[in-house]
Amino acid sequence: MGIEEENQKIEKSIRDIARDLLKNKEVDVIIGYTEGTVPLSTSPIIIRDEKDVDKLVWNNFCYINLAKYLAPRMPQLVDPEKGELKVGIVTKGCVGRALIQLAIEKQINLDNVKIIGIPCNGIVNRRRIEKEIGEKEILEVSVSEDNIIVKGKNFEESFPFSEYINELCKQCKIKSPPKVDSCVGECGEYESVFDEFNDVKEFESKTPDEKWEYINDLLSTCTRCYACREACPMCYCNLCFVDQNKPIWFGKTTDQTEILMFHLIRAMHMAGRCVACGACSSVCPVGIDLNLITRKLEQMVKERYNFTSGIDIDKFPPMMDFEMEDEQEFMLEED
C-alpha cells in the first residue's frame, strides 16, 4: 500500500471514530487536523458537531503536537457550568507520548480524554523542501506514489518521501500511541523501546572542540522568537525561566552566549520528558534543527536509567524519581 492509500485509510478511521464519539456523547469536542491555509502545513481544528467531522484530515504535514492544547487547557475546552469538557484528540505516537507524560506530571486527567489512535507514517521535513525550492513560490503539495510532488508557477518537482521525512520520523519506534484505558483506534503495547540512536553517532564521534563549534553554528541564526518553546507540549510553565525578572537568570538579547544559554537550559528541562515529536524544529522560522540536542539527552537518559518518556503511565521520569541503585559518579570527589 502506497503512502497516499495509507493516508486515506487513516483519515477515514479518524472521521469514523470521531463521528461515533460525538454521536454517542462520549466526548464534547474533537481536536484534530484540518487543511492548512498554505502549502506544506495543516491547522488544528476543534469540532463540536458530528456534521463537521469531514473537516478532519490526515496527511504528512500534520506536524503540530495537539497535546499542546491540553496543558494548560484552552478556554474553548472549558464550560462555565460543566467545567472541563471531555475531549477526543487525534493521536499519533508522539502525541500519545506527550499525553501520557502530561498525565504523569499531573497536568491533564486522562479520564477526560479519548485518544483516537492512528499509525503515523511520517511527517515531511517542510523546511528542507522549502530550502531546496528556494525563492520560488510553492502553490501546491501532495504525496503520490511515495513521492512528494511540489508545484508552483512554471515548475514541478518531485522528492522521494522516504528521504524527505523528518529525521525523527526515520528513527521513530513508536508510530501509534501507547495503549491506555482511554485509547480507541490503533494503539500499541510498548514495554520497552530499543533504540540504537544512529542519528547522534556522527555527533558523538566529534572532538569536544568540534562539538562546541557544531552547536554554535547550529544556533547562530536563532532570533530568540521562542517558537520552539510555544510549540512544545512539555513547555507549559506559566512563567518560563527566560521571562523571570526576579531573579534575572540572563538577558534576552540575541548575543550568542545568551542564545546558547536559552537553548541548553531549555534542553535540560526536557531531559527525560521530550517525546521526540519534532514540533520545535518544524516551527522554527529560520530552520534550526534542535532534534540533535534533544536526541542526545534522550540517549543519555535511556543509557543511564533505561527510560523512554511517555510509554508507561505508571513510571515516573528520572527527574521526578530515584532508586538507590542510580549511578552517582558525578557526586564523587576528584582524585
Sheet holding 87-91, edge to edge: 42-47, 29-35, 87-91, 113-117, 183-185
Q: Is the pLDDT of residue 335 over 60?
A: no
Please name the residues in contact with 184: beta carbons below 8 A apart, sequence gap of 6 or more.
17, 21, 114, 115, 116, 117
- Residue 319: the pLDDT is 82
- Residue 331: the pLDDT is 65
> What number is the average pLDDT over the span 260-277?
92
Assigned C-alpha cell, 278:
519534532
Confidence of residue 43 (pLDDT cuts 50, 70, 90): very high
User: CA nearest 94: which of 60, 130, 120?
Assistant: 120
Q: Which of 58-72, 89-103, 288-302, 320-334 has the lowest mean pLDDT?
A: 320-334
What average pLDDT does the structure give for the chain? 91
Residues 137-157 have pLDDT tens digits of 999 999 988 899 999 999 999
Any idea what the Cα angle at residue 305 is, between residues 303 and 307, rounded to 5°?
90
Confidence of residue 84 (pLDDT cuts 50, 70, 90): confident
- Residue 332: the pLDDT is 61
Confidence of residue 83 (pLDDT cuts 50, 70, 90): confident
SS (H, E, C) the chain: CCHHHHHHHHHHHHHHHHHHHHHCCCCCEEEEEEECCCCCCEEEEEECCHHHHHHCCCCCCCCCCHHHHECCECHHHEECCCEECCEEEEECHHHHHHHHHHHHCCCCCHHHEEEEECCCCCCECHHHHHHHHCCCCEEEEEEECCEEEEEECCEEEEEECCCCECHHHHHCCCCCCECCCCEEECCECCCCCCCCCHHHHHHHCCCHHHHHHHHHHHHCCCCCCCHHHHHCCCCCCCCCHHHCCCCCCCCCCCCHHHHHHHHHHHHHHCCCCCCCCCHHHHHCCCCCCCHHHHHHHHHHHHHHHCCCCCCCCCCCCHHHCCCCCCCCHHHCCCC
More confident residue, 93 or 2: 93
> What number is the average pLDDT over the span 175-184?
93
* Residue pair 88/77 in contact by the 8 Å Cβ criterion: no
| Alpha-carbon separation of residue 323 from 24, 212, 221, 244, 333 (angstroms) | 45, 33, 41, 33, 21
| Alpha-carbon separation of residue 183 from 118, 155, 325 (angstroms) | 10, 44, 34
